[in-house]
Chain A
């Protein structure tokens, strides 16, 4: 039974990894750009949820939406204030812009919220479900289910709607899209909003089930890199599978090797991937 417990726990956490990693892969697919501050977006989503629960209401729908909205706005603002100017600049500016942003957000969070671990006060999702000997905290179950739903929704948005086609058109050929009457700047801002929003809501979901501190952003950012590299850059569906796989691997290595090894195994996987299959599972070479 403990074996099933480990697997289910890993998959539920992996679903959340999938959700925030799909945001990272979206930006990569749109503009060949890696966001080093993506993990910090997840961390800010967690604190957004905490603030809403502390000051307004404990309803998961409200704080989930609030975190998504806050991060969406932040993502759009960052695009217009920073990314727009560096995206066609030298490699150094591209990487330093979001790397510096990550430091800025992380240490500002340390300054504002302190380095202590916090967790959400009891929400309506408290309690544990007992399914034939497998104990599942309801919060984890709901968070995992919502994360999978949202990741699939993002995939459908990109592949089945007009907005999705416009986004992909800009990704394919910026100037051709412009000739078709699409405004690339708006589309890319939208992509940043969606990407950060996905990270924000993933953070809020994670906050219902796990404690955190400002330093989690660094870990989540690296996990998102590994997920995206495994799933294939630019593929939302790929990052869904990869997220679940990485959740499983982490749970399994934490169980058999010890909790400290769970990140070592995942980062090691990244290095192995670079050697063996840099295009990932679903990516084009």
Chain B
């Protein structure tokens, strides 16, 4: 009987596929899907650190995405700073915000955390819609033409694609490192049973806070990348609830709390979404969210581990039956 294939082959194929994708499919339509896919995978992987591994379900992660998107464009609008300089500021702001929310709510039951995240995201969205400094409901625009590479404004999709791919690799590598370290074991212990983890000496509140801050930092980066690519941000595309929904659904569909879960989720959802949008045009977007809601309910009811867990359950069985003879 053959051995079950090593995960390294899969990893190699995945990396090769992602690296070669924009070269094989060079049309602007496919490259655009590729970039959207990478961005969705980055933000879902960032959400996964706190929502999946630590089991603290944030439904307002758009607040970090929005901060990350607004900050570079705001500094550009005010003082003409290159957007790349605003990215670290956005990260700092997001981390501070995550601590402000995390400190009080991580003492309480997990439901408080979820409620606080959605309330704060909504609060910021409404506030930014009235704040003239950040363009109120109209939003902010980035540089129309890049003065240099540091403006992150390119004609072609290709530089964005490889930049996003690099960030995705970094997020996944850090998640992988977290998974293997003591910190990762603490997170999973907290997720399984907070009381048990505390009785074994895990600093529960502090560990959750660290995971939340790390997740906020990467989500903010994803927001900055989004703003650099589209060159435009408004309250709904930055802080809207649907931004949070997309992170949650992609991670949960693929498998929350697994390294490649968000990648799998994005691989399924983004092409699906773009197919629905091309088929039904703008009118299809409402339909998309009905389907999203339905998928989330079905995952929660039948397969909280997502497709990854389903696959892990089914794959060895399929392998065995295929090689039984």
Q: Do the two chains belong together in a single complex?
A: yes
Interface pick from B112-120, B170-178, B225-233, B262-270? B112-120
Question: Does A97 have its Cβ within 8 Å of any Cβ on chain B?
Answer: yes
A107-B293, A267-B120, A278-B104 known; A92+B126 contact, CB < 8 A:
no
* Chain A interface, >50% SS class: helix
Total interface residues on A, CB under 8 Å, equals: 45
Question: Does A142 have its Cβ within 8 Å of any Cβ on chain B?
Answer: no
Which residue of chain B lies nearest to A267 when distances are taken between CB atoms in the complex?
Answer: B123
List, in ascending order, chain A residues with CB within 8 A of B292's CB.
100, 103
Q: Is the CB of B119 within 8 A of A96?
A: no
List, in ascending order, chain B residues with CB within 8 A of A34's CB.
111, 114-115
From 56 to 110 in chain A, residues with beta carbon under 8 angstroms from any chain B beta carbon are: 82, 85-86, 89-97, 99-108, 110
Q: Is the CB of A90 within 8 A of B114?
A: no
List, in ascending order, chain B residues with CB within 8 A of A156's CB.
none
A157 CB → nearest B CB, Å: 25
Which residue of chain B lies nearest to A105 when distances are taken between CB atoms in the complex?
Answer: B293
1/0 per residue, CB under 8 A from A, across B71-113: the answer is 0000000000000000000000000000001011101111110
List, in ascending order, chain A residues with CB within 8 A of B301's CB.
82, 85-86, 93, 97
List, in ascending order, chain A residues with CB within 8 A of B293's CB.
100-108
Q: Is the CB of B300 within 8 A of A93?
A: yes
From 222 to 248 in chain A, residues with beta carbon under 8 angstroms from any chain B beta carbon are: 222, 225-226, 229
Pick from B103, B126, B300: contact of A86, CB under 8 Å: B300
Q: Is the CB of A260 within 8 A of B130?
A: yes
A91-B57, A92-B300, A278-B107 known; A100+B294 contact, CB < 8 A:
yes
CA distance A104 to B110 in the complex (A): 23
CA distance A236 to B289 in the complex (A): 33
Q: Is the CB of A92 within 8 A of B119?
A: no
List, in ascending order, chain B residues with CB within 8 A of A90's CB.
55, 191, 304
Q: Which of B59, B115, B122, B129 has the most CB of A within 10 A?
A: B115
1/0 per residue, CB under 8 A from B, across A256-285: the answer is 000011011001101100110010000000
Question: Does B299 have its Cβ within 8 Å of any Cβ on chain A?
Answer: yes
Question: Does B276 have its Cβ within 8 Å of any Cβ on chain A?
Answer: no
Q: Is the CB of A107 within 8 A of B289?
A: yes
Question: Does B241 have its Cβ within 8 Å of any Cβ on chain A?
Answer: yes
A103-B289, A103-B292 known; A278+B111 contact, CB < 8 A:
no
From 251 to 307 in chain B, residues with beta carbon under 8 angstroms from any chain A beta carbon are: 252, 256, 286-287, 289-290, 292-301, 304
- Residue ranges of A at the interface with B (Cβ–Cβ < 8 Å): 28, 32-34, 36, 82, 85-86, 89-97, 99-108, 110-111, 218, 222, 225-226, 229, 260-261, 263-264, 267-268, 270-271, 274-275, 278
